[in-house]
């Protein structure tokens, strides 16, 4: 292990436009800025710190961008397809992915660079950018952005992406750099290392300052971090830093929100800043704004772009133990101003992460625990039965089964805006849960108190399967049984009729 061996609603858009107008010295009126519909990389460019790498699986990061966002590869025939945007400056065309991946599974092989510098991220593994990792499942997590369904880049241990950008615009040496990403505080761990930013070109640990990447995880390497995480930190090589030293940064705080904005900027010689915020509402919290750690001034950036792993991962069997979620992010040349940071955050909030499909982005954040609508039976199509909570049990950990459809409370399921499948019995609401946060075939499907964790989030796919957001496995009737009482579990998706489900009807 690397660480072990190294010492659009008008109100929201208007608010963003006002900040953007102020950022460029009033050269644009608020009305003009609204008309321009500036996205994050337009805002960075206006502030004099242009994007040199810009990645997202959910939306365009330039108002004029109309190219591909990412590439998927399907398992049935290894064919690939590029997934673009619905229109210039808009969200990903998830319908194109759903059509291409229907009745099979897909992985994300490339995340394209929107900046024009060619810093496309390929997965670190055979057939990708080289190494031992594998590409991420393309349908592990769906979400809503700007009122439309999109998919995240859902990183589990053994998934990561990389590109050598040393000759394509990435900051080198002690050149100043800024970076941001939108990630999730509900799909995290302390493994090494969920990073996005500047890393080594040789994929080895090359010394202090060889990396300049955002880290988002529950790993507090030097101890003393506030709360239980996850935290926004700087991976500068040989350490995760929450501030300018190896001691506790009093300004550090955790960000367990469903959607999180994380920022790092570094002038390369004397100063860095860390910021974080809720990507659905509000502004940024400055976690650190001060000196670089001793021994890291000047920096020694090499210019590779890393996503989902640390600097010395995956070249020749190096372990990648991290997990995390990536929605969007960019690396910029220069040290962004605070006004630029604030304008980017306002734009992210206006994008409407976690809204309701078919509606504009919310003017205020949705509730963290959406109130479920009236429930409906969840049909096990192959068996002609329904997903059933035995005897309408209110005991946490009860394994779900199939049973004759009865219309009773123990068969009334609701797919909430947060992705949960909830069930209200005995006056209490429970969620369908992957037992013990299991990610291996055979994990029991149980009920548990709703907690918003990724093992309680489920994707209802166009091909009739229901997949766990954390595991990517399919909800499965054990042994393809059609008998009442047959247990339900998670299993590798195989196209079987016992993995076909329909909510309602």
Residues in the chain, how many? 505
| Cα 424 to Cα 388: distance, rounded to the nearest angstrom | 12
Ramachandran category for residue 419: left, alpha or beta (phi over 0 → left; psi -120 to 50 → alpha): left
- The secondary element (H helix, E strand) that includes residue 53 is strand 51-56
CA angle 17–25–351, rounded 5-degree value: 20
Please check whether residue 368 is in contact with residue 420, taking contact to mean a CB–CB distance below 8 angstroms: no
Please check whether residue 209 is in contact with residue 177, taking contact to mean a CB–CB distance below 8 angstroms: no
Catalytic residue among 120, 148, 312, 476: 312
Q: Which residues of 268-302 are buried (b: 16+ CB within 10 A; e: fewer)?
A: beebbbbbbbbbbbeebbebbeeebbeebbebbbb
Q: How many CB atoms neighbour CB 427 within 10 A?
A: 7
Tell me whether residue 237 is one of the annotated catalytic residues.
Answer: yes
Tell me whether residue 489 is one of the annotated catalytic residues.
Answer: no
| Cα 28 to Cα 171: distance, rounded to the nearest angstrom | 29
Beta strands in 170-319 (DSSP E): 177-183, 195-199, 212-217, 231-235, 240-241, 260-266, 271-278, 285-291, 304-307
| Cα 92 to Cα 59: distance, rounded to the nearest angstrom | 5
Q: How many CB atoms neighbour CB 367 within 10 A?
A: 10
Catalytic residue among 133, 141, 212, 237: 237
| Cα 159 to Cα 143: distance, rounded to the nearest angstrom | 20
The β-bridge partners of 235 are 213, 240
Active site residues: 237, 312
């Amino acid at each position: 292990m690397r660480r072990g061996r190294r010492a659009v609603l008008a109100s929201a858009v208007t608010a963003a436009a006002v900040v953007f107008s102020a950022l460029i010295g009033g050269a644009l009126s608020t009305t003009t800025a609204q008309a321009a519909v500036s996205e994050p990389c337009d805002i960075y460019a206006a502030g004099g710190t242009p994007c040199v790498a810009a990645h997202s699986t959910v939306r365009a990061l330039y108002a004029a961008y109309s190219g591909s966002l990412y590439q998927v590869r399907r398992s049935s025939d290894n064919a690939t397809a590029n997934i673009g945007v619905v229109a210039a400056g808009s969200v990903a065309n998830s319908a194109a992915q759903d059509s291409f991946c229907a009745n099979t599974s897909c992985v994300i092989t490339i995340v394209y660079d929107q900046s024009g510098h060619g810093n496309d991220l390929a997965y670190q593994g055979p057939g990708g950018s080289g190494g031992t990792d594998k590409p991420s499942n393309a349908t592990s997590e769906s979400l809503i952005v700007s009122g439309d369904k999109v998919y995240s880049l859902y990183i589990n241990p053994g998934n990561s992406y990389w590109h050598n950008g040393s000759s394509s615009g990435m900051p080198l040496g002690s050149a100043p750099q800024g970076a941001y990403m939108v990630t999730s505080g509900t799909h995290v761990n302390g493994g090494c290392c969920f990073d996005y930013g500047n890393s080594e070109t040789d994929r080895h640990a090359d010394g202090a300052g060889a990396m300049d990447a955002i880290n988002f995880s529950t790993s507090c390497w030097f101890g003393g971090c506030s709360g239980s995480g996850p935290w926004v930190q700087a991976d500068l090589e040989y350490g995760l830093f929450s501030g300018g030293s190896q001691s506790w940064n009093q300004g550090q705080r955790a960000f367990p929100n469903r959607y999180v904005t994380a920022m790092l900027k570094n002038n390369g010689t004397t100063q860095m800043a860390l910021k974080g915020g809720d990507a659905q509402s509000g502004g940024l919290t400055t976690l650190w704004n001060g000196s670089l750690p001793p021994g890291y001034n000047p920096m020694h950036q090499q210019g590779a772009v890393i996503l989902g792993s640390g600097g010395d991962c995956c070249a020749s069997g190096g372990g990648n133990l991290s997990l995390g979620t990536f929605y969007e992010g960019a690396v910029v040349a220069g040290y962004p101003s605070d006004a630029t940071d604030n304008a980017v955050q306002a734009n992210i909030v206006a994008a409407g992460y976690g809204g309701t499909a078919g509606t504009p982005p919310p003017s205020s954040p949705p509730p963290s625990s959406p109130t479920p609508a009236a429930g409906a039976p969840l049909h096990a199509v192959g068996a002609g039965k329904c997903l059933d909570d035995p005897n309408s049990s209110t005991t946490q950990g009860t394994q779900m089964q199939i049973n004759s459809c009865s219309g009773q409370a123990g068969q009334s399921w609701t797919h909430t805006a947060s992705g949960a499948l909830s069930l209200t019995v005995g006056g209490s609401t429970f969620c369908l849960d992957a037992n013990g946060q299991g990610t291996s075939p055979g994990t029991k499907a149980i009920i548990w108190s709703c907690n918003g964790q990724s093992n309680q989030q489920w994707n209802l796919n166009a091909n009739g399967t229901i997949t766990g957001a954390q595991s990517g496995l399919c909800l499965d009737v054990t042994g393809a049984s059609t008998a009442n009482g047959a247990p339900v579990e998670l299993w590798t998706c195989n196209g079987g009729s016992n993995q076909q489900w329909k909510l309602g009807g």
